Amino acid sequence: MKTKDQPQIIEKKWPLGKTSGKQSYHPGEIEIKWQEKWEKEKLYRAVDFDKRPKKYLLVEFPYPSGERLHVGHGRSFTAIDALARKYRMMGFNVLYPFGWDAFGLPAENYAIKTGINPAVTTTQNIANSKKQAKTWALSFDWEREVNTTDPDYYKWTQWIFLKLLEKGLAYRADVPVNWCPSCKTNLAQEEVLADGTHERCGCQTERRMQKQWLLKITAYAQRLLDDLKIVNYLPRIRIQQENWIGRSEGAKIKFPISNLAIEVFTTRPDTLFGAVALVLAPEHPLLKMPEIKKKMPKEVAVYLERSQKKSELERTDLSKEKTGVFTGLYALNPLNKEKLPVWVGDYVIGWYGEGAVMVVPAHDRRDYQFAKKYHLKIKEVVSGGEIQKEAYEGEGKLINSGEFSGLSSLAARKKITDWLTKRQLGERTVQYKLRDWVFSRQHYWGEPIPIVYCQKCGTVSVPEKDLPVKLPYMEKYQPTETGESPLANIKEWVEVACPECGGPARRETDTMPNWAGSNWYFLRYCDAKNQKKFADRQKLDYWMPVDLYNGGMEHTTLHLLYSRFIYKFLADLGVVPGQEPYARRHSHGVVLGPDNQKMSKSKGNVINPDEIVKAYGVDAYRLYESFMGPFEQMIAWSDEGVEGCYRFLKRVWQLTMGKTSREKTNPELLKALHKTIKKVGEDLENLKFNTAVAAMMEFINVWQVDLRGLNKSDLEKFLLILAPFAPYLTEELWQRINGQNHARSRVNLSIFSHEERWSIHQQPWPKYDPRVIQEKTVTMLIEVNGTVREKLDIGYQISGVRKEVEKLAEASEKTTKYLAGKKVKQVVFIPGKLINFVTNC
Ligand code: ANZ
Ligand code: ZN
């Protein structure tokens, strides 16, 4: 360290404010004070129609469970909070709202476990989690808080359902549903994991048929796919959505069978000459026709019975053996009139495509397995593979395909489809994997579906003026063994006069699924207290779309897709602007336990954020959540990591409290500072929270060895860039170094609408000076009419660029003075040496 030869510096004391009594860092002592003051002064209020440009930042709202907020919530909420704070400092009108996704199974299961009504536990849990969120200094605008179980809120969830019904996008049908015997409820396909267990409780699910409400999300499949092009989603999110929608282009082909025809969907019509059989799904309607049933061997009925018990995943698993039975029927290949045996096989799915496939063993892996097992022919029709060994699924030249031989497989796809289309034996078609969304649950804790069944009028919507249909209070809300909702037990509630004829009618007792309330909550934030509409259109026009939406990867195919669908529907009604709700979607990685495993009570590796906060303070906790690793990556929790963040903050505190300053910060330190300002600013924009924090830590290391310190204005700059991450500490230090009359002394900060900008969080984001960051510098002479007026240290690279030097020279104070009121006739430039402005007089 080079303290010896340093020149004598005149040190001066900064005017310390009133709170300067305590000199050491005790985070617990400053947190409540600032939290209350910020709240009282409504520092984080989003202002409708404000003339500042807007930013709408959104984090997925949590369900208020008994466990309260965990470190996974913290990772998302604190990082996006840092960004919200930076945007405010940059002069944006920021909407960063919060609320509670409080209906649904988690709340109900918690209530069942504790024996307390979900209405009561939900209120308690919300109060507890809210206290946590406030402690964490999350800069939410609490005036816009929403709660999906509030009748003023779910009135509009019900209203959206009625609009969907009105437009033919909600319907009732008998559908095979996944039944969870433990939760006693039906589940959506998405709630069942790959091994057939319920995602929430881990129980093995069963399949049954039940009348359910469904939403026709499939009507929006193509638009949901196309519009992924106009949004900025993390690639892995976009790809998951594309796969989930699962668009396939191909052909529907008819195989005549006596006076009927079996239709199949194929993506490879070019392989039609290689078809050796047809396989029907066990659910295929042909198998239910009495005259066909009569002719089929007994094994078929046995097989159908057995496959009914299997889950879809079991049936389609590529690694499982493909099974089937011959039905005794034959169909004709429409292209070459060859007789093809018709089989039943449960690897064919009833609901997808036509529920039937043509078997092309040479060019499809599943069919290859099937043919090997049942000794079917393997007919090669596309060259390029080694079909003795395995199926060849690639492209090539057509062989053994009559008049189509010699064509490329790609060209043949088109030619064969055209040939079939001309003879009405087939047509081009598009299929989607996406399925309609099962929208009813047989549970108590959900939005009642606003429908009445009348003996005379049938299915009747509850009129809009009678919304909301309120969820009645119940003593016993356990699910019933029959699978009916417990609401069916409340006679007074169920029996109702028909809204149309006044006659006897019954209410729908099913409630909406977990995802209903979260479909549109981001719209309510724009106008949370509106009593007449779900949100005022002008406010929506001002705030929407959401500029950045962060949430878990587990919501990519459920909530994210559902809410995009509902938004498009509302756009079609003309009640929301644009086509997409979220301009940008990002996803944070899961926080693992210190043992690198998923946190769970049974493993005993759950980190309780309250304890971390108690031990190290909120700022260290927040800083660590950002610092732990790249935002989108899964990261294991580390106590040493938090400790390190705490030590860093303590050092910032000590260095600031060192109370020494000088007129000018030394150039080395200044350069490091400006580099840090640049890096932190850019990293925040790019959601690289961890490297932003690392850059500030690095800066502290430079500062530590340079005992001469920063001058006051440079110190302030550093505190300003740290403020979004460590709001309490920086506020305290800001007030201490500036004293009480601080706000009035800074008059030029007109970007905030607040009268007095006393808080560090109301100050403008600091700018870095690119000249300071320049690596090597050259001293250049700035002349006006041949007289040297200024000497500038200019970055080595820039010193050779005429335009750049000109700009810098013109910006310098002295040159400006000499050039004032004159016209520059000529500029002489000698790279790295001088620039001379020749003027008219
Ligand atoms: C014949 C064929 C030949 C096929 C070939 C592929 C390769 P996507 O849409 O990409 O998933 N298929 C059609 N309907 C099915 C159903 N209900 N259950 C199971 N499989 C079904 O794949 C479409 C392909 O999956 C279709 O193209 C069909 O097999 C099969 F060399 O038809 B293919
Ligand atoms: Zn009626």
Please give the distance, rounded to the nearest whole angstrom, from the Cα atom of residue 170 to the centre of ligand 2. Answer: 20
3-state class of 570 per DSSP?
helix
C-alpha to C-alpha distance for 323 and 68, rounded to whole angstroms: 48
Rounded to 5 degrees, φ, ψ at 118 are -60, -30
Place of tokens 């290391």: 701
* 683-719 pLDDT per residue, tens: 999 999 999 999 999 999 887 776 557 888 899 999 9
Assess whether pLDDT exceeds 70 at residue 33.
yes
Helices (H), 527-617: 537-543, 559-573, 609-616
Q: Is the CB of 360 under 6 A from ligand 1?
A: yes
Q: Is 349 in the pocket of ligand 1 (CB under 6 A)?
A: yes
CB-based burial of residue 492 (10 Å sphere; 0-12 exposed, 13-18 middle, 19+ buried)? exposed
Would you state the pLDDT for residue 601? 85
What is the Cα–Cα distance from 762 to 756, expressed in whole angstroms? 9
The DSSP call for residue 686 is T
CA neighbor of 612 nearest in space, from 25, 27, 22, 23: 27
For ligand 1, what atom is nearest to the CA of residue 248? 9
Whether residue 357 has its Cβ less than 6 Å from ligand 1 = yes
Q: Which of 97-101, 131-135, 707-711, 716-720 has the lowest mean pLDDT?
A: 707-711
How do 584-587 and 232-233 pair as beta strands? parallel
| Residue nearest to ligand 1 atom 27, measured at CA | 266
Looking at the DSSP assignment, which residues form a beta bridge with residue 266? 251
pLDDT computed for residue 775 by the predictor: 66
Instruction: Report pLDDT for 115.
Output: 84
Q: Whose CA is nearest to atom 22 of ligand 1?
A: 267
Residue 265 beta carbon below 6 angstroms from any ligand 1 atom:
yes
Ligand 1 binding pocket includes 409 (Cβ within 6 Å): no
267 lines ligand 1 (CB under 6 A): yes
Residue 659 banded pLDDT, cuts 50, 70, 90: low
Q: How many helices and strands (H and E) does the chain possess?
A: 27, 28
- Does residue 29 register a pLDDT over 50? yes
Percent of the chain exceeding pLDDT 90 equals 70
Write the pLDDT tens digit of every residue in 717-738.
999 999 999 999 999 999 988 8
Ion ligand 2 contact residues with beta carbon within 5 A: 454, 456-457, 498, 500-501, 503
Question: The whole model's pTM is what?
Answer: 0.85
pLDDT of residue 708: 59
Distance CA 445, CA 118 (A): 7
Picking from 39, 149, 147, the residue whose alpha carbon sits closest to that of residue 99 is 147
Segment 663-678 shows an average pLDDT of 86
Residue 831: count other Cβ atoms within 10 Å of its Cβ: 13
* Beta pairing partners, 340: 331
Query: What is the model's pLDDT at position 18?
Result: 38
Please name which of 65, 153, 154 lies closest in space to residue 107, comparing C-alpha atoms.
65
CA of residue 355 to ligand 1 center, whole Å = 10
What pLDDT, in 10s, does the model give residues 416-457?
A: 999 999 999 999 999 999 999 989 988 899 999 999 999 999
Q: 247 — phi, psi (to 5°)? A: -80, 135
Task: Say yes or no: CB of residue 274 within 6 Å of ligand 1.
Answer: no
**Closest by Cα among 238, 11, 201 to 110:** 201
Q: Which of these, 354, 445, 378, lies nearest to 110 by C-alpha position?
A: 445
Spatial separation of the C-alpha atoms in residues 646 and 630, rounded to whole Å: 20
DSSP-based helix, strand, coil % in the chain, nearest 5: 40, 20, 40
Ligand 2 centroid distance, CA of 471 (Å): 22
| Average of per-residue pLDDT values in the chain | 90
Residue whose Cα lies nearest atom 1 of ligand 1: it is 266
CB 570 within 8 A of CB 540: no
Residue 72 has pLDDT above 90, yes or no: yes
Q: How far is the CA of 503 from the centre of ligand 2 (A)?
A: 5
In this model, does residue 763 exceed pLDDT 50? yes
Please provide the DSSP assignment of 595-660 as one string: TSS---TTTT----HHHHHHHH-HHHHHHHHHHTS-TTS-EE--HHHHHHHHHHHHHHHHHHHT--
Question: Ligand 2: distance of its center to the CA of 94 in Å?
Answer: 49
Q: How far apart are CA 317 and CA 251, in angstroms?
A: 24
516 lines ligand 1 (CB under 6 A): no
- Contact (Cβ atoms closer than 8 angstroms) between residue 373 and residue 382: no
Could you say which ligand is closest to the alpha carbon of residue 271? 1
Percent of the chain predicted with pLDDT > 70: 93
- Looking at residue 711, what is its pLDDT? 86
Closest atom, ligand 1, to C-alpha of 352: 17
* Contact of 494 with 185, CB cutoff 8 Å: no
What mean pLDDT do residues 594-614 have? 92
- CA-based nearest residue to 454, from 490, 504, 495: 504
Residue nearest to atom 20 of ligand 1 (CA): 348
Planar angle of CA 610, 614, 617, nearest 5 degrees: 105
Strand order in the sheet with 247-257: 260-266, 247-257, 426-432
The three-class DSSP label of residue 285 is helix
Contact 352 CB / ligand 1 (< 6 Å): yes
Report the nearest atom of ligand 1 relative to the CA of 347. 19
Query: Which tokens is 136 given?
Result: 């964490």
Any atom of ligand 1 within 6 Å of the Cβ of 315: no
Q: Is 379 in the pocket of ligand 1 (CB under 6 A)?
A: no
Nearest residue CA, atom 7 of ligand 1? 364
Q: How confident is the model at residue 755 (pLDDT cuts 50, 70, 90)?
A: low
Cis peptide before 468 (omega within 30 of 0): yes
